[in-house]
Amino acid sequence: MSIDSTWLRCPNCFHDLEPVTDRVLGCSTGHRFDLAKHGSVTLLPPKAPRTVGDDRQMLEARTGLLESGAYAPIADALIAAMHAGRPSTASRAGVRQPGESHDTSAATRIADLGCGTGYYAGALGRAGPGASVLLADRSPAAVRMAMKAVSGSTGVVLDLWRPLPIRDASADIALNVFAPRNPEEFARIVRPGGVLLVVVPTALHFIELRRIGAALDIPDGKAELVAAQFSDVGFTASGTTRVEYPLVADAETRELLVDMGPTAHHRADGERAAASDELSVTVSVDVVTFVRSPVLQ
């Protein structure tokens, strides 16, 4: 069974999930969840909305763009932020007590919340060999794709807007890249002293595409808004890195840029980005590092 149940709790009663058989997870109150053929598990709460997240067309467009290296500087910035803010793996349950030794053999636990294709989780996992990686997304297709990209990972289909089927203080590092944010739940699952890395677009991101009506507007000051949201639940912003560069995009690349994101949901079938031979498109994001405040004694 290619799943690490130590990440997971029941979406119905919030008790820990454990293996019942090699293909079934269950909690002490009797709820049972079958693993999919490829090893992921769907843990949606009762009466969850019937949304499916990113569809295969969006995911394939994203894969094509990411494999070209177009967003490699963002992945590099995330790796640098992870190393700069990387917490000790000791005493995940709380603040280390006097005389308690650090467990230097413990694997870093990385949770990608809104994992998409797994591109960024894979980059962080390779930068921290031996890491335990949780891939979480509402899209079953995304979770399948991400698990193929990140060997040995645990994949779960969930709803990021609801209470997460993830155990308290189970992540050393959480990752949220261009994905929905649930501050209260992120604070619950990141252990005290742990790190949350959030990537948000700036007002200059894809500005050339927005000028021709091929991308959605982005409000200014988004990083500041995100910082305020997370500071209210016990995170402290410890640093922001601006990643900004021109991406020379031909018509095919521009289609990938548009089709891989939320704009794809807002245009009719067959509607394409405005054509020209080449266009320099600005990629501009903020990588914000948050540290989870220690539990007060």
pLDDT digits (tens, 9 = 90+) for 133-182: 999 999 999 999 999 999 999 999 999 999 999 999 999 999 999 999 99
Element (H or E) spanning 207, and its range?
helix 207-211
Residue 297, domain member (yes or no): no
pLDDT of 6 above 90: yes
Can you tell me the mean pLDDT for 261-266? 46
Residue 39, domain member (yes or no): yes
Residue 283, domain member (yes or no): yes
Whole-number pLDDT of residue 181: 95
The DSSP symbol for 37 reads: T
Structural domain that includes position 21 = 5-45+52-292
Residue with the two structure tokens 């969930």: 158
Phi-psi region of 149 (alpha: psi -120 to 50; beta: other; left: phi over 0): alpha
pLDDT of 262 above 70: no
Torsion of the alpha carbons at 30, 35, 40 and 41, rounded to the nearest 10 = -30
CATH number of the domain at 170, please.
3.40.50.150
Residue 130, domain member (yes or no): yes
Residue 143, domain member (yes or no): yes
- Compute the distance between CA of residue 201 and CA of residue 222 in angstroms, rounded to an integer: 7
Buried b or exposed e, range 114-147, using 16+ CB within 10 angstroms: bbbbbbbbbbbbebbeebbbbbbbbbbbbbbbbb
Residue 166, domain member (yes or no): yes
CB within 8 Å of 184: residues ≥ 6 apart:
233
Question: For all residues of the chain together, what is the average pLDDT?
Answer: 86
Using DSSP's 3-state secondary structure scheme, residue 290 falls into strand
Residue 79, domain member (yes or no): yes
The DSSP symbol for 96 reads: P
Whole-number pLDDT of residue 277: 62
Q: What's the structural domain count of the chain?
A: 1
Span 195-232, pLDDT tens digits: 999 999 999 999 988 888 777 778 788 889 999 999 99
pLDDT of 194 above 60: yes
Q: How many CB atoms lie within 10 A of CB 223?
A: 20
Buried b or exposed e, range 59-81, using 16+ CB within 10 angstroms: bbbbbbbbeeebbebbbebbbeb
Angle at 68 between CA 66 and CA 71, to 5 degrees: 45
Structure-block tokens of residue 124:
């962080």
- pTM, entire model: 0.87
Whole-number pLDDT of residue 266: 38
Whole-number pLDDT of residue 223: 87
Phi-psi region of 193 (alpha: psi -120 to 50; beta: other; left: phi over 0): left
| Higher-scoring residue by pLDDT: 62, 273 | 62
- Compute the distance between CA of residue 132 and CA of residue 154 in angstroms, rounded to an integer: 8
Whole-number pLDDT of residue 111: 98
Whole-number pLDDT of residue 274: 47
pLDDT band at 98 (very low <50, low <70, confident <90, very high): very low
